[in-house]
Chain A
């Protein structure tokens, strides 16, 4: 099964830049984009428009923005950790916010990593590169073993 990334991002600019940063770092994996929290949950739980999807085929990593329409990033994280299927899914919070409370709350709800999107694109590139390297190349995902 193909390894892919789920990017939960409502800002098309950030989406484009994130994908560009991944590509520029030679991460060619498919990137599935969800525009809001509800859509992301539907996808992950294989329900609603995604009811036909194989619920066992989970992304290698979810890049989750916090400030999202409808269902917020933190709520998404909470539900992901609450569901048996996605309990161990790697979730990297990727946000513009540098508020301490967001960081603390993210880790409390079980985020695997918290990355602040810098204004400087070079720094952003660096962050994405490290991220992709770790979660797509080095990390032995628990998903695969559970799924097969």
Chain B
């Protein structure tokens, strides 16, 4: 990565600096060609005109002025002015020289570098220009050089032997410099040297800009790739998740099927068990009662036919046998009711609980089981449920209430609804013996009794039946009491 960046930077810098150099070079070359054009103009137009004017006697033979006659002088001066303008413009001056190893003016004397260039141009005549980037005192410079004109016969008039040169020229240049030249020799080299630091700086800036852009682009590309790979990763993860989810769903389906199958099995088993229970209940109701009836019946027959021959004690035994039969008969009856309350198919009807309660109370009154009980039934109690089963609930609760309040001075049984309850909670309250709340849990268990059989006879199945019926309706039943302060039974039918 790092190496790549370095390579790319180097490459970009190379390309950019080459471009910048080429532009600088083109500029310099233009300058040089302009200068050369000036030389040519002077040599081709001004020299013949001057010599003609001299020949015509219009100009004196001793007149000579470098201002109008020396192209190297004119170009140098012009270049000086050009540099002045450059400096005014905040640019570095450009070095220009018409370098010769035999100059008239010492400022034009070639440095060893320029002299070597001059020799090279003389040796390689096909070499028309030379350029080079070189460091001078640590600063980069572009050097551009061109051979000056090959000395011709016309040139020798001023550059040949001193004594043959125009008088004005001999007067102006006292030395041998610029004289004694030979035809066919390249007399000078024109050289321009321009600083490249600005261009380098520009190249660096450009490179930097380019590289910055490139880095930005690269970053974008990388980021894009990163994003793409992220998206791809997420896509793969999602696909896997979908597959996983599908597998999980499949498993759930299999589990569900298995569960359904097992529920079916259990339902079949339960149905079979229910069927057995049915058969058992039928058998109990039939077969258990018949011998009981025989015991009771023949005990009575014995009492009636032979009672007089028995002593009082013997007859008491017979009565005890018959009471036992009655209790057992009741027990079987209650067991059957309990069994039926579970097995019986349920109906769901609108029920007038107030009316059912009144009917139950009427039944109790008709058998004289109500004693002196005062009944209070709240009118307008309605509920949803199975008419037979709900009647059984009220029979049990009202029957219990009557039974357990039978020993108080003014027995009172109340049937009503807990105001504001939702779902509707119905209650049966008495002012009788009550029970100890510590045994509340045992209250609804089959065959659980909280009172002596002597005191309050019963099978202990009634409340178990109530609970089963209420639960089958999706409701709850609960009891609260204090011994001696009556009992309160509350039940709901469905949530």
Contacts and interface: CB of A to CB of B under 8 A. Distances in A.
A120 B296 contact: yes
Given A17-B297, A20-B301, A117 B289 contact: yes
A98 B290 CA distance: 12
Contact of A13 (B298, B328, B336): B298
Given A98-B336, A119-B325, A121-B300, A14 B293 contact: yes
A99 B293 CA distance: 18
Interface of A: 11, 13-14, 16-17, 20, 24, 67, 95-99, 117-122, 124
Contacts of B336: 98
Contacts of B285: 96-99
The range of chain B's interface size is 20 to 34
Interface of B: 282, 285-287, 289-294, 296-301, 304, 322, 325-326, 328-329, 332-333, 336
Given A119-B326, A121-B296, A97 B286 contact: yes
A119 B293 contact: yes
A17 B298 contact: yes
A14 B301 contact: no
Given A97-B282, A99-B285, A117 B293 contact: yes
B296 A13 contact: no
Tell which of A17, A120, A124 has the most Cβ of chain B within 10 Å: A120
Nearest to B278: A99
Nearest to B283: A67
22 contacts: A13-B290, A13-B291, A13-B293, A13-B297, A13-B298, A14-B290, A14-B294, A17-B293, A20-B297, A95-B286, A96-B286, A96-B289, A97-B282, A97-B285, A98-B333, A118-B329, A119-B292, A120-B325, A121-B300, A122-B300, A124-B293, A124-B297
Contact of A121 (B289, B291, B293): B293
B300 A96 contact: no
Nearest to B286: A96
Contacts of B304: 24
Contacts of A11: 290, 294
Given A96-B286, A96-B290, A97-B282, A119 B298 contact: no
Contacts of A20: 297, 301
Contacts of B293: 13-14, 17, 96, 117-119, 121, 124
Nearest to A99: B282
Given A96-B293, A97-B282, A121-B293, 4 more contacts: A13-B294, A67-B286, A119-B329, A120-B326
A99 B301 CA distance: 28
Contact of A119 (B282, B286, B287, B296): B296
A119 B289 CA distance: 6
Nearest to A122: B300
A119 B323 CA distance: 11
Contacts of A95: 286
A128 to B, nearest CB: 11
A124 B285 CA distance: 16
